[in-house]
Amino acid sequence: MPLLDHFHPPLSEERHWEGFHSKWANVLVDTLNEKLLPKRFFAEPHIHSGARVEIDVATFESTLPTTSAAYNGAGATAVRDWSASTPTMVMPAVFADTFEVQIINTEAGPTLVAAIELISPANKDRPEHRRAFAVKCASYLSQGISLILVDIVTSRHANLHDEVVQLLPDGSPYLFPARPLLYVAAYRRNRREEVEQTDVWLVPLALGEPLPILPLALTSDFSLPINLETTYVEACQKLRMV
């Protein structure tokens, strides 16, 4: 199915982009929980509405008791032999600043391992919004949390991958080639020969073209294939856009 323009007429006059992003996030959560994630992981949507709308899908590692076959969950068998393609680039995993203050609850609780961010117009709007979003993403990566960014926003022109890598001491070699308006990006923390690195997959998007499959890493050596095309089509169909 071709990628639609959700931010300009005629579609923007018939459907709200917030509703579509919310539905897409829920389809991604359903796909992860029902088909892909091993039993000791679970996904849930996180939607913040207000001055800035932020929608993402978080994947957690559960602390609930599991059997020794924890990786034989709903989708583990189906994706066990799947492997990610060669990364577009490999960045250093060292960031210039500490990005957050952590308040730790010593009681057992779920641990965040991955996130899928559906970028909103507000994320790309102003310099302070772009930096806040980039700091959030860089904080995830600095903690070893894998990340997928999905940018189908046609009404703003900033590239948030570039905002993230500019937080590196020397991020210029890792800028997105040609700075496409629409794109998806996946990030996976890795350690090679005692060096911390971040594997990066960058895929430009275009209206009228299908969406790709990207890796979502649960550990450094276990990734799930996130089929953005099938989840996008399902969200469009359920909202009667096609």
Q: Going residue by residue through the chain (242 aa), what tens digit of pLDDT does each one get?
A: 899 999 999 999 999 999 999 999 999 999 999 999 988 899 998 876 555 556 688 898 876 554 434 444 555 555 667 888 999 999 887 554 444 344 444 455 788 889 999 999 989 999 999 999 999 999 899 888 999 999 999 999 999 999 999 998 888 999 999 999 999 999 998 888 888 899 999 999 999 999 999 999 998 889 999 999 999 999 999 999 98
pLDDT of amino acid 86: 93
Residue 115's CB: how many other CB atoms inside 10 A? 22
Identify the DSSP state of 22: H
Q: What is the CA radius of gyration of the chain?
A: 18
pLDDT of amino acid 170: 85
pLDDT of amino acid 107: 54
- The 3-state DSSP class for residue 5 equals coil
pLDDT of amino acid 70: 42
Furthest C-alpha separation in the chain: 53
The two three-digit tokens of residue 151, written as one number: 């940018």
CA angle 134, 140, 145 (to 5 degrees): 145
CA angle 168, 163, 46 (to 5 degrees): 110
Can you give the three-state secondary structure of 217-235, one letter per residue?
A: EEECCEEEEEEHHHHHHHH
Nearest CA among 141, 110, 232, 101 for reference residue 133: 141
pLDDT of amino acid 217: 93
Quote the pTM value: 0.86
pLDDT of amino acid 6: 97
Tell me the CB-side half-sphere exposure of residue 10, using CA atoms within 13 A.
Answer: 1
pLDDT of amino acid 60: 87
